[in-house]
Amino acid sequence: MLAILGTIAVMIYAAVAMLQILVWNPLAAAPGLSLTEIHEATSAAGEGVFAPGVIGFLLVGPLIAAFLLIAARRPDATPTATTLGYLGLLAAGAGAYFLASFGPGMALADTSLIGGADAAPAGWILIGVSTLSALTFAGIGALVAFHGRTGRRALPAT
């Protein structure tokens, strides 16, 4: 069940990132224009947004999550290892989001003469999820390290 929830969380993260990069942010950066008009303006300025590249790049996370889902079914897989795998993947999502959004963000900035920062709030939500995931990963890692060093159980038995 934990692996299924982790996989769903990663898929939602990737879907929100795709919508943020390809729909929400362009609409927020160029208010009053339709998405078609925004794409036409960026193309006319020689700045294209390669949507298949963004989608393909952001599908790496869900593919890794599917691999973790399969790996979690192994008899030697522990809930702690499964949790750390998904938390690490969600934490890495911030970097993937930045890399996937850089080109489209610069295309918007150059076309609309605005800054390259996110204009829609979903980007900050993604960064928040990644930050919380990284902090939780570090906390669980510290507990596991404490358990290994002292021989005392740091996490409840599952």
Q: Residue 63: what pLDDT?
A: 97
Q: Residue 42: what pLDDT?
A: 85
Q: Residue 158: what pLDDT?
A: 55
Which own/partner pairs from 92-96 qualify as long-range (CB within 8 Å, at least 24 positions apart)? 92/61, 92/130, 93/10, 93/13, 93/14, 93/17, 93/61, 93/126, 93/129, 93/130, 93/133, 94/126, 94/127, 94/130, 94/131, 96/17, 96/57, 96/58, 96/60, 96/61
Cβ contact 82:76 at 8 Å = no
pLDDT under 70: residue ranges of the chain: 148-158
Q: How many CA atoms lie within 13 A of 32 on its CB side?
A: 1
Q: Residue 106: what pLDDT?
A: 87
